[in-house]
A and B are shown apart, each in its own frame.
Chain A
């Protein structure tokens, strides 16, 4: 009996028990769709987070106060007040001490209410240096960015994000207008081009940027004049990132007079941020995928159960086939093909349901679902494997039936 005949016979058997076969396949179908969707959701969330962190700017190192254990990302108790200063930032920008550092932008942030006429809007006000634009890989939509002259003279000028402009100046034309921050009037000199990323708490398009010096004197009353909350360091190139990290680390340790075990600051690279952010997603994905996998296992047990019932029910048919010349291995193959067809069909249909879910779900969850071709092929192969595995024992039982016992069953 050749392969085509075995396959035809198996399909006929499946077709002749339509309802039962459909229900059996449903188990595999739901399991495969669940696995595909949970893994797809996990991968979607991970790629979303990495895309957002990548938009921070390339070759970026982020220096923050307080110490962080670099492997786990858990912040230690040290440094609740800012230990980083503008002097640290200028030292880092020295080409002699740190040749692999291209530019440095120290920033301080504070949440403030911005007022224009009668309308007001609460957003994040960032005090920084002219380098910020390059370091954060941002561009201007109109006007200019803050300059060294603004910084030196502590001028009351501000550059706004696109969303902030939309809130405060609904008719557009923000450049040249005046906005009040913490009681002081600021002239809007520029508007940042939108980049369109939103994290759960802040939007990169909703902010106001002012000179660091102006920030210290007029915006944030309780911060010391020279302290900063974050120093962004841009390495000369991607390959110089490690060197830049070591230079910044050594320089700040020396300046603060502490050993590396007692560091009062931490340096994160874009990669380490992506790693930390996506590893939690990965853990969740594995957990959910595991639960979905269990439902797949239950589906597999369903296939095995039905195949055992099928063997018992078809004892006469098996006996007849044997009497007419079916060898034990032909009978075994027939039942194995039947079980694996159930598994594979359930897998393909489950993949279809998963793809439909991947298209429909993002509309409800505001969360992208990524289905990789590898996951799709893998799912069908796994379903086939489950079918084969579930078929081995029932097929063996069918093959071992003695034709006389099978025929005698009246």
Chain B
């Protein structure tokens, strides 16, 4: 069964009278439990694709099914719920809230899901243990290294048990040691049956995935199986 399926997805941005076609008809699908990398140079439409995959934006044309539900025509409020329940994000800049401890950062998706505080804490700590930070739950992001911060972000992506983990340049701000760390974490998650989509421009990072989708000029250029 497919976790996600894009059918002829187009995205046109218009600023004034100028129209820019960022995506020009992308059709692809990702099966449950797959580990897929999306590669492409800057300006290829990679970021736009990631926004649509992450339900942060909707396509101008075409359909996008996530876990069997068409999300391409949803309202902002409905999309918020889909992001909350079905997608775990890992960003290049970690995007942790600096004033909150690690576990408070990890519990955030559960706060918006409306879970009780003790349930949230238990699940947040379990997720942090999963990424090897069981002894850092009360540390603030500023007290953690870059690699540790990105692992907190991975724990946050895991905590709501989403259908898809979407990582946008997750190693872009990390040194090679931390990069290896995070990639091995993704490999572990993949082994335990998670669906992972990793967007990157680094070939060695993409090699970790089972298959690589190359994007150029808003179209799928090539699909490479590992």
A residues neighboring B (CB under 8 Å)? 1-2, 5, 12, 16, 316-317, 320-330, 402-404, 407, 410
Known: A321-B108, A407-B95. A328 touches B76 (CB 8 A): yes
- Chain B 75-113 interface 0/1 with A at a Cβ cutoff of 8 Å (1 = within): 011001101110001010101010110000000110111
Chain B neighbourhood of A402, CB < 8 A: 56-57
Chain A neighbourhood of B93, CB < 8 A: 410
Chain B neighbourhood of A326, CB < 8 A: 80, 112
How far is the CB of B163 from the nearest CB of chain A, in Å? 14
Whether B109 pairs with A324 at a CB distance below 8 angstroms is yes
User: A1 CA to B112 CA in the complex, in Å?
Assistant: 5
A-B pairs with beta carbons under 8 Å apart, 29 shown: A1-B112, A1-B114, A5-B111, A12-B99, A16-B99, A321-B112, A322-B80, A323-B83, A323-B89, A324-B84, A324-B112, A325-B80, A325-B83, A325-B85, A325-B160, A326-B80, A326-B112, A327-B80, A327-B112, A328-B76, A328-B77, A328-B80, A329-B77, A330-B112, A402-B56, A403-B56, A404-B51, A407-B91, A407-B95
Closest to B100 in A: A12
Whether B81 pairs with A324 at a CB distance below 8 angstroms is no
Whether B113 pairs with A325 at a CB distance below 8 angstroms is yes
Closest to A317 in B: B97
Tell me whether B54 is interfacial, beta carbon within 8 Å.
Answer: yes
Whether A325 pairs with B81 at a CB distance below 8 angstroms is yes
Whether B51 pairs with A327 at a CB distance below 8 angstroms is no
Closest to B54 in A: A323
CB within 8 Å of A: which of B41-68?
51, 54, 56-57
Known contacts A16-B99, A324-B112, A327-B77; 10 additional CB pairs below 8 A are A1-B114, A12-B100, A322-B56, A323-B89, A324-B83, A325-B84, A325-B113, A326-B112, A328-B80, A330-B112
User: Contact partner of B56 among A1, A316, A323, CB < 8 A?
Assistant: A323
User: Contact partner of B108 among A316, A324, A403, A407, CB < 8 A?
Assistant: A324
Q: How large is the interface on B (under 10, 10 to 19, 20 to 34, 35 or more residues)?
A: 20 to 34
Chain A neighbourhood of B156, CB < 8 A: 324
User: A2 CA to B99 CA in the complex, in Å?
Assistant: 21
Whether A327 pairs with B81 at a CB distance below 8 angstroms is yes
User: A322 CA to B14 CA in the complex, in Å?
Assistant: 24
Known: A324-B156, A327-B81. A407 touches B109 (CB 8 A): no
Chain A neighbourhood of B113, CB < 8 A: 325
How far is the CB of A103 from the nearest CB of chain B, in Å? 77
Tell me how many residue pairs across A and B have CB atoms closer than 8 Å: 61
User: Which of A325, A326, A327, A330 counts the most B-chain CB atoms under 10 A from its CB?
Assistant: A325
User: A402 CA to B80 CA in the complex, in Å?
Assistant: 11
How far is the CB of A330 from the nearest CB of chain B, in Å? 6
Known: A323-B89, A325-B80, A327-B80. A404 touches B56 (CB 8 A): yes
How far is the CB of A189 from the nearest CB of chain B, in Å? 83
Closest to B93 in A: A410
How far is the CB of A317 from the nearest CB of chain B, in Å? 6
User: Which of A328, A329, A404, A410 counts the most B-chain CB atoms under 10 A from its CB?
Assistant: A404
Closest to B113 in A: A325
Chain B neighbourhood of A330, CB < 8 A: 80, 112
User: A79 CA to B175 CA in the complex, in Å?
Assistant: 102
How far is the CB of B221 from the nearest CB of chain A, in Å? 24
How far is the CB of A409 from the nearest CB of chain B, in Å? 10
How far is the CB of A5 from the nearest CB of chain B, in Å? 5
**What are the 4 closest A-B residue pairs judged by CB atoms, nearest first?**
A325-B84, A325-B112, A327-B80, A16-B99
How far is the CB of B212 from the nearest CB of chain A, in Å? 24
User: A1 CA to B54 CA in the complex, in Å?
Assistant: 21
How far is the CB of B155 from the nearest CB of chain A, in Å? 13
How far is the CB of A313 from the nearest CB of chain B, in Å? 13
How far is the CB of B148 from the nearest CB of chain A, in Å? 18
How far is the CB of B151 from the nearest CB of chain A, in Å? 17
- Chain B 177-202 interface 0/1 with A at a Cβ cutoff of 8 Å (1 = within): 00000000000000000000000000
Whether A316 pairs with B99 at a CB distance below 8 angstroms is no
User: A328 CA to B78 CA in the complex, in Å?
Assistant: 10
User: A316 CA to B97 CA in the complex, in Å?
Assistant: 9
Chain A neighbourhood of B108, CB < 8 A: 321, 324
User: Which of A5, A317, A327, A328 counts the most B-chain CB atoms under 10 A from its CB?
Assistant: A327
User: A329 CA to B75 CA in the complex, in Å?
Assistant: 13
Chain B neighbourhood of A410, CB < 8 A: 93
User: A1 CA to B114 CA in the complex, in Å?
Assistant: 5
Chain A neighbourhood of B89, CB < 8 A: 323-324
How far is the CB of B54 from the nearest CB of chain A, in Å? 7
User: A402 CA to B156 CA in the complex, in Å?
Assistant: 21
User: A16 CA to B98 CA in the complex, in Å?
Assistant: 10
How far is the CB of B117 from the nearest CB of chain A, in Å? 8
Whether B95 pairs with A316 at a CB distance below 8 angstroms is yes
User: A317 CA to B91 CA in the complex, in Å?
Assistant: 13
Closest to B108 in A: A324
How far is the CB of B186 from the nearest CB of chain A, in Å? 19
Known: A2-B114, A330-B112. A320 touches B80 (CB 8 A): no
Chain B neighbourhood of A12, CB < 8 A: 99-100
Chain B neighbourhood of A329, CB < 8 A: 77
How far is the CB of A336 from the nearest CB of chain B, in Å? 17
Chain B neighbourhood of A407, CB < 8 A: 56, 91, 95
Closest to A406 in B: B56
